[in-house]
Amino acid sequence: MKFRRSERLIDITHYLLEHPRQLVPLTFFAERYGSAKSSISEDLAIVKETFEQRGIGTLQTVPGAAGGVKYFPRVNEHEARQFIANLCDQLENPERLLPGEYLYIMDLLGNPQIVHQVGKLIASAYAGAEIDAVMTVATKGIPIAHAIAAHLNVPVVVVRRDSKVTEGPTVSINYVSGSTKRIQTMVLAKRSLKEGSKVLLVDDFMKAGGTINGMISLLAEFNATVAGIAVLVEAEYNEERLVEDYISLMKLKDVDIRQSAIKVVEGNYFTKNISFL
């Protein structure tokens, strides 16, 4: 069965979107469509150009016998700025205010389109990094971690506050929560992370950085290393933060309970050296 170019372009687009950062040999597509490799090369040139123009991502061609093509999700700067500005607006809604100056954000974390785009933005920032896994702490970070991992094509590892029978043997550590200075526990199933992994740490919210710092201590128990740190929202914090090099999409500047006012601005995302489309 022969495929026309139009059909190939549609199927290649779908296939690459579902297999980011994975080397796909040209012969795979050539056999899939019964086409010459030269035709596939032309298809891929069209896909690459369109992906870049439309802010979808980019294709990297690896030459040689073991070569092929890799799709990297990437965003264009203008769209990323619009998306984050819109998220900031949503976060400033005073109805989100909860006692203790907490903000309700479960609706944002439960919205698949928002979570998907957050994942794409953060994955784009680590497009060039070597990452073996994305780690987060249950439960609010899980959707973001999965959205990032889907774009990086790596597994998600979920740390818990307590151990469960369905996890098997675990490694646990104690750490000091950054802002409240309380001793807390973190638990990770032993088999869930390979020794020596390079891990992207992710959370929905960071203030002093205690939770992230706890995950860093946990990594040490697995001889694993930090490949990056990314949070959806960081809070303004005047004391010394426990975590230095991180990416945040938004920054919570101020919460005024009496005025029912929340001030949210862009995080440090655009100050990082991200190669946008």
Contact call for residue 195 and a second copy (CB under 8 A) = no
Contact call for residue 54 and a second copy (CB under 8 A) = yes
- Cβ neighbours around 47 below 10 Å, total: 20
> Least distance to a second copy from the beta carbon of 103, Å?
8
Q: Which of 24, 91, 173, 189 binds a second copy (CB under 8 A)?
A: 189
Contact call for residue 103 and a second copy (CB under 8 A) = yes
> Least distance to a second copy from the beta carbon of 81, Å?
19
**Residues 130-159 interacting with a second copy (rule: CB under 8 A):** 138-140, 142-143, 146-147, 149-150, 153-158
Torsion of CA 142, 147, 152, 153, to 10 degrees: 80
In whole angstroms, give the CA distance from residue 172 to residue 192. Answer: 13
> Least distance to a second copy from the beta carbon of 169, Å?
9
Contact call for residue 17 and a second copy (CB under 8 A) = yes
Q: Which of 21, 81, 116, 198 binds a second copy (CB under 8 A)?
A: 116
Nearest-5° Cα angle at 175, 174 to 178? 160
Contact 83, 276 (CB under 8 A): no
Q: Which of 24, 44, 51, 70 binds a second copy (CB under 8 A)?
A: 51
Contact call for residue 94 and a second copy (CB under 8 A) = no
DSSP string across 28-82: HHHHHHT--HHHHHHHHHHHHHHHHHTTSEEEEEE-STT-EEEEEE---HHHHHH
Q: Which of 24, 26, 44, 56 binds a second copy (CB under 8 A)?
A: 56
In whole angstroms, give the CA distance from residue 56 to residue 76. Answer: 8
Backbone φ, ψ for residue 217 (5° rounding): -65, -40
Q: Which of 63, 64, 130, 166 binds a second copy (CB under 8 A)?
A: 166
Contact call for residue 168 and a second copy (CB under 8 A) = yes
Contact call for residue 49 and a second copy (CB under 8 A) = yes
On the question of a cis peptide bond just before residue 185, with omega within 30 degrees of 0, the verdict is no
Nearest-5° Cα angle at 252, 251 to 256? 160
Contact 68, 74 (CB under 8 A): no
Q: Which residues of this protein are in contact with a second copy, per CB under 8 A?
A: 5-7, 9-11, 13-14, 17-19, 46-47, 49-51, 53-54, 56, 98-100, 102-107, 110-113, 115-116, 138-140, 142-143, 146-147, 149-150, 153-158, 160, 165-168, 189, 191-192
